[in-house]
Amino acid sequence: MADARLRYLRQQIELGGPEVVTSRTSFPGPLEGKGPAKLHARPSWQKDAPGIPADGITVQPPVGVLDTAGLNELNLDGVAERIRTTFCCDLCPKRTNAVPGDGNPKARLVLIGEGPGATEDETGKPFVGAAGQLLDKILSAVDLERKDVFITNVVKCRPPQNRKPLPDEVASCIPYLHRQLALIKPKVILLLGGTAAEALLDKKQSLGQFRGKVHHYGSIPVVATYHPAALLRNPNWKKPAWDDVRIARQLLDQ
């Protein structure tokens, strides 16, 4: 790119000018594209974004059960501390670190995955392995960063061999998620994969059936999409995932 054009775009970025496109990676196009951020004008995530789909399931956040568990007295740090210091199911004694969740306590967008993997178990942070790196790119493509969002999981301890958490493990751990959501009060929730969708929306059905609708958790809109690990396995899902993410992103701006 000519120096003058590059200078102009840099200046636009600094000034927030109309040609600014802050996405540092394109998704789903060159999502595979490795290497440093490229600085050139390209359409923003809004271009050709799908419309907001019809409403789907509505669930109400639980009342009572959190009182029983003593969670209603805890703030976000208190919830994290409780997760790190207690055992609520058979996954807990096997963990290296519990992974309560991480990010902005005032996030407008909360992302929910299934459960920690090996790297997350080692570090105590959510989505820091390969799936997490893809998630960072997805966020970046809709002009969001980790510091803007809160990322957590249905279960806070790693299931052996990364298997799907069992129903009783989900049932034991999910009160923490409900309390986190009650404290953060996000504007939008993005569910990453079928386990998160089934757990939060309290319904057993395929991810395909959850996708393409705007569900509600109380009054909070909820969008379900593919888990980033599934996108790594099946790149054909990147385009539909990109549409889902842009639906969630639009809801954030409403």
List interacting residues with ligand URA (CB under 6 A). 113-117, 120, 126-127, 129, 131-132, 153, 229
Nearer to ligand URA, 127 or 210 (CB): 127
Structure tokens of 53?
């789909």
For ligand URA, the closer of residues 114 and 178 by Cβ is 114
> Closest separation between CB of residue 127 and ligand URA, Å?
4
Instruction: Quote the CA–CA distance of 247 and 240 in Å, as a whole number.
Output: 11
- CB 91, min distance to ligand URA, A: 13
Closest CA to 197 of 70, 112, 77: 112
Nearer to ligand URA, 9 or 184 (CB): 184
For residue 113, the minimal CB distance to ligand URA (Å) is 3
> Would you give the DSSP letter of residue 212?
T
Judged by CB, which is closer to ligand URA: 127, or 237?
127
**Secondary structure percentages of the chain, helix, strand, coil, to 5:** 45, 15, 40
- Check: CB of residue 202 under 8 Å from CB of residue 195: no
CA-to-CA distance for 80 and 66, rounded, in angstroms?
15
Strand pairing category for 55-59 and 214-217: parallel
189, 220 Cβ separation under 8 angstroms: yes
Q: How far is the CB of 125 from ligand URA (least distance, A)?
A: 8
Give the nearest distance from C-beta 189 to ligand URA in angstroms: 15
Can you spell out the DSSP letters for 96-125?
A: SS----EE-TT-SEEEEES---HHHHHHS-
The CB-of-146 to ligand URA minimum distance in angstroms stands at 12
Residues 6+ apart with CB under 8 A from 62: 175, 178
Residue type (1 letter), 218 = G
Q: Which is nearer to ligand URA, 56 or 116 (CB)?
A: 116
Report the nearest approach of ligand URA to the CB of residue 149 (Å): 13
Of the pair 153, 225, the CB lying nearest ligand URA is at 153
Of residues 167 and 218, the one with the C-beta less far from ligand URA: 167
Residue that is written with structure tokens 């009783």 in the block: 168
